Each structure stands twice: as structure tokens, then as C-alpha cells.
């Protein structure tokens, strides 16, 4: 009990004893609670963890199917030329079919279209494995792999859900997470596919990828509460995302060329040094750098697209310089830094896609961007192959730097369109 001090006072002829009120004991200060981070707030949304888990599971096979098909066909048929032609046909079919599938998803809803489209793609993968195993004619391989072009753009659908759930100011973190998830899947997918095809049997990578794709898509679409409402009506004339995104598609094409040329050149360079076995882990470092940078970028204020592209162009010169030294540690470090520079570009560019795409066509707009990236990867891979054969691997490392620099200048036409990024402020370019 706190002690009191008696006070005496005289009022007239009366002596009054006054007890001072006890001073209140200091109350303990409440413990400071740490504010949740941006990713904790992101996944506190109801249903966010569920659809994200399904999305990651369905996206992992995207990094598995290509290398699985090559290893399976080349292993059984003894022809890398045939394997490359089959996968190139599938890429061409995807460029045609994927935007059409995305348009149907925007119009009729994700669950209604994505599930049957996934079933068709899975049947195509299973048919490919059977045809390869049974020695069916070559044309059946092309037809089977072309059927996998109906695979929905899971990353685009996931980004559409975040756009539906979040206010504009909170979308930057979500888009950064999605970019990191893409990099993680494309980093782990080839490793898992190669392990399955070599340790188990040649068709194991394709079969496992088909199971993961179907399981992940069913889990993703099961969370209907987070699904954006379908447009429901036929899009009006003049609202095609292609017209709005045309200036940006050149940027995505150039960025894809960065990825494709870097991968082919790195594999050829390491093989020339007698370090072909190290190509997988070294390329995984590049993807890991992009994954980590994407997560970090989501906690920071977004930069302008011009700044991100300038950083990318500078970072892509590092592997070129490291290759001239012939040092594997230097090249690995340079690829790690180059990978870290790609995530901010992709996050900021995808934010611009969101801003420019007409209402109700977001998944189609995202798919157009991904299709442009895939086309750029194919072109960059082909150009790097020619450069390696005629100029050598060190000179071929100039291609990614040149492609990144061209992306910086290709972006200029898109600057004429006034856009508002996901932060709710004008693009400062």
C-alpha cells in the first residue's frame, strides 16, 4: 500500500486533519507490439494462403515440362533435333492458344474455364509420354505436345485475384511476391525434372508435372471466394488488351531475349571450360537472385520503369566482364547480381500491364505479356546459339547486355501513355 502524509489545517476554531490522496503507482507501460510486415498483412487476407498454395503447385510444372520433354524424347528416340522441334512447336501453339484461353477465363470465370483447359493439357502430356514410350510416329509427338498449349496462365490468374482483393496501394507487395514465386518455380522445376528423368525413368518428369498441374489447379480454383467476378459479356469492340499493351510488348520481347540468350550462353561457356555439370547450379543462382530481389522489392517503394531497366542494363554487363576472366566464382557472382536486377523490371512492367489493361481483360493482358516473354526467350536462345558458334562464348555474353539496353529504349513509346501504377501515384518517368 502506498503511504500517505497527514496534513493539518486550522479552519476557524476547528483543527482539521487532512489525509493526502495516495499517489497512483505507475502502471506498467504496454509492451510494444511490432507491426506486421507487408507479406504478413498480405497473407492475413481470408483465402489468400489457400489459393497461393494451389497456384505454386500448379506453376511448378511450368519449369518442368520443357526439359522433361527434351530428356524423354532424346533419351527414347536418340534425337535432340526432334526433341527441340517438338518443344518449339508447343511454344508456337501456346503463343496462339494462351491468349484465347485467357480471354475465355476473363469472360466466364477462372474455375469454369481453367479446370477443363488444364484437363486437356494434362491429357496432351500423358499422350506424349505414351507415344514416346510405344514408338508412335513422330507426328503424334508434335500433336500431343501442341495440346498442352491450353495450360492456363496460373500466374496471371493469381495476379488477377490479388488485384480483385487488394486496394491499389497494397498491390505492389503482391506483384513482387508473384514474381518471386515465378522465379522459384522456374528455378526448382528443371532441377526436379532432371532428377526424375535420370533417377527414375525418362517419362517420370512429364508424368509428375501433369499430376502436379492438375492437383494444383483444382486446389487453386477451389477457393471461389477470392476469384474475381467474370465479365460475363462479349468484350466490346476496341477494348482488346493487345491495342493498349502493344508498346509494352516490345519491352517484354526484349526482356525475354535477355533471359534466353543468357541461359544458352552460360551453358555453352561453362561446357567450354569443362564445367558443364556446374551449369545447373550456376543458372539456379541467377534465378535465386531474382527471387530474393523480388521479395525485397516488395517491401520497398517501387521505382520507375526507366530506373529499373537502367539497372538491368548495367547488371547484364557483369557476366560479360566475368566471362573474360575465366573465373567460375566471378561468373557465378555476376549471374547472381544480374538475376537480382530482373525482378524489379518484371514487377514494375507487370504493374504497368495492370494499369493499361481494360477492365475485365486482366488475365488476357497478363497472358499477352507472358507470350511476348516466351517469344523473346526463343529468339534470344537462337541468337545466342549463332553467336556462340561464330563468335565464341565470351562475345556471346554481349547479347544479354544489348537486349537489356534495347529494352530501355523500346520502353520509350509506352511512356506516351499516362498510367497510374499500383501505388496510386503517377509513374515518375
Cα separation values, 411 from 266, 308, 345, 352, 371, Å: 27, 11, 11, 11, 17
Measured distance CA(343)–CA(346) in Å, rounded: 5
Listed residue (158, 186, 154) closest to 174, CA to CA:
158
The answer on pLDDT for 412 being more than 70 is: no
Most confident listed range (30-39, 328-337, 415-424) = 328-337
Sign of the Cα pseudo-torsion (124, 127, 132, 138, in order): negative
In the chain, the percentage of residues whose pLDDT exceeds 90 is: 25
pLDDT of residue 352: 86
Angle at 217 between CA 136 and CA 161, to 5 degrees: 140
pLDDT at res. 354:
80
Is 394:324 a contact under the CB 8 Å cutoff? yes
Asked if 376 and 260 count as a contact pair (C-beta separation under 8 A), the reply is: yes
pLDDT at 417 over 50: no
What is the Cα–Cα distance from 53 to 55, expressed in whole angstroms? 5
Mean pLDDT, rounded, of the chain: 81
pLDDT at position 248, please?
A: 86
| CA 177/CA 194 separation, integer angstroms | 26
Tell me the pLDDT tens digit for each residue of 166-223: 888 778 888 888 888 887 887 788 778 878 888 888 889 899 999 999 999 999 999 9
| Lookup result for grid cell 526484349 | 254
Judge whether 346 and 251 are in contact, CB under 8 Å: no
- What is the pLDDT, as a whole number, of residue 1? 47
**CA distance linking residue 348 with residue 366, whole number of Å:** 13
- Predicted confidence at residue 16, as pLDDT, reads 44
For residue 179, what is the DSSP state?
A: H
Question: Position of cell 540468350?
Answer: 261
Q: pLDDT confidence of 362, banded at 50, 70, 90?
A: confident
Identify the helix (H) or strand (E) that includes residue 6. Answer: strand 6-11
Instruction: Please give the pLDDT value at position 64.
Output: 85
Q: Give the model's pLDDT for residue 112.
A: 92
Residue 410 burial (CB count, 10 A) = 20
Residues 366, 155 contacting (CB under 8 angstroms): yes
- What residues contact residue 308 under an 8 Å CB cut-off, 6+ apart? 341, 344, 345, 348
Which residues 6+ apart lie within 8 Å of 137 measured at CB? none
Q: Provide the grid cell at 170.
A: 497494397
Region 414-426 average pLDDT: 43
**Domains in the chain, please, with CATH?**
48-233 (1.20.1250.20), 241-422 (1.20.1250.20)
The mean pLDDT value for 244-268 works out to: 85
* pLDDT the model gives residue 10: 44
On the question of pLDDT at 422 being above 50, the answer is no
Q: Which residue would you say has higher pLDDT here, 354 or 162?
A: 162
C-alpha cell of residue 186: 522456374
Q: With contact defined as beta carbons under 8 Å apart, do 311 and 297 qualify?
A: no
Q: What is the pLDDT of residue 428?
A: 36
Which cell is 398 given?
554481349
Amino acid at each position: 500500500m502506498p503511504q500517505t502524509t497527514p496534513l493539518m489545517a486550522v479552519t476557524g476554531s476547528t483543527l482539521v486533519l487532512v489525509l493526502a490522496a495516495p499517489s497512483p503507482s505507475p502502471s506498467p507501460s504496454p509492451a510494444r507490439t511490432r507491426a506486421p510486415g507487408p507479406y504478413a498483412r498480405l497473407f492475413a487476407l481470408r483465402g489468400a494462403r489457400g489459393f497461393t498454395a494451389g497456384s505454386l503447385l500448379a506453376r511448378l510444372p511450368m519449369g518442368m515440362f520443357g526439359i522433361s520433354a527434351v530428356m524423354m524424347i532424346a533419351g527414347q528416340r536418340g534425337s535432340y533435333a526432334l526433341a527441340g522441334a517438338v518443344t518449339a512447336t508447343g511454344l508456337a501453339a501456346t503463343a496462339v492458344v494462351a491468349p484465347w484461353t485467357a480471354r475465355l477465363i476473363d469472360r466466364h470465370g477462372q474455375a469454369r474455364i481453367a479446370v477443363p483447359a488444364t484437363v486437356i493439357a494434362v491429357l496432351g502430356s500423358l499422350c506424349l509420354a505414351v507415344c514416346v514410350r510405344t514408338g508412335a510416329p513422330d507426328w503424334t509427338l508434335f500433336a500431343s505436345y501442341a495440346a498442352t498449349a491450353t495450360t492456363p496462365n496460373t500466374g496471371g490468374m493469381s495476379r488477377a485475384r490479388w488485384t480483385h482483393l487488394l486496394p491499389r496501394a497494397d498491390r505492389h507487395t503482391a506483384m513482387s511476391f508473384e514474381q518471386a514465386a515465378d522465379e522459384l518455380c522456374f528455378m526448382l522445376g528443371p532441377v526436379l525434372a532432371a532428377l526424375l528423368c535420370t533417377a527414375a525413368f525418362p517419362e517420370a518428369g512429364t508424368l509428375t508435372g501433369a499430376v502436379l498441374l492438375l492437383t494444383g489447379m483444382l486446389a487453386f480454383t477451389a477457393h471461389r471466394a477470392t476469384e474475381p467476378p467474370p465479365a460475363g459479356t462479349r468484350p466490346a469492340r476496341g477494348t482488346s488488351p493487345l491495342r493498349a499493351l502493344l508498346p509494352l510488348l516490345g519491352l517484354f520481347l526484349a526482356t525475354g531475349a535477355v533471359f534466353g540468350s543468357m541461359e544458352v550462353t552460360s551453358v555453352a561457356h561453362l561446357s567450354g571450360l569443362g564445367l558443364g555439370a556446374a551449369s545447373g547450379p550456376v543458372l539456379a543462382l541467377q534465378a535465386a537472385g531474382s527471387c530474393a530481389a523480388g521479395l525485397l522489392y516488395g517491401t520497398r517503394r517501387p521505382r520507375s520503369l526507366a530506373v529499373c531497366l537502367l539497372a538491368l542494363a548495367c547488371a547484364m554487363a557483369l557476366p560479360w566482364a566475368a566471362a573474360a576472366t575465366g573465373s567460375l566464382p566471378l561468373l557465378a557472382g555476376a549471374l547472381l547480381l544480374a538475376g537480382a536486377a530482373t525482378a524489379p523490371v518484371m514487377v514494375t512492367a507487370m504493374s504497368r500491364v495492370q494499369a493499361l489493361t481494360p477492365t475485365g481483360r486482366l488475365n488476357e493482358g497478363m497472358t499477352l505479356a507472358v507470350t511476348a516473354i516466351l517469344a523473346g526467350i526463343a529468339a534470344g536462345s537462337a541468337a545466342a546459339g549463332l553467336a556462340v558458334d561464330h563468335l565464341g562464348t565470351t562475345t556471346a555474353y554481349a547479347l544479354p547486355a544489348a537486349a537489356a539496353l534495347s529494352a530501355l529504349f523500346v520502353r520509350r513509346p509506352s511512356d506516351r501513355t499516362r498510367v497510374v501504377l499500383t501505388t496510386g501515384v503517377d509513374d515518375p518517368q
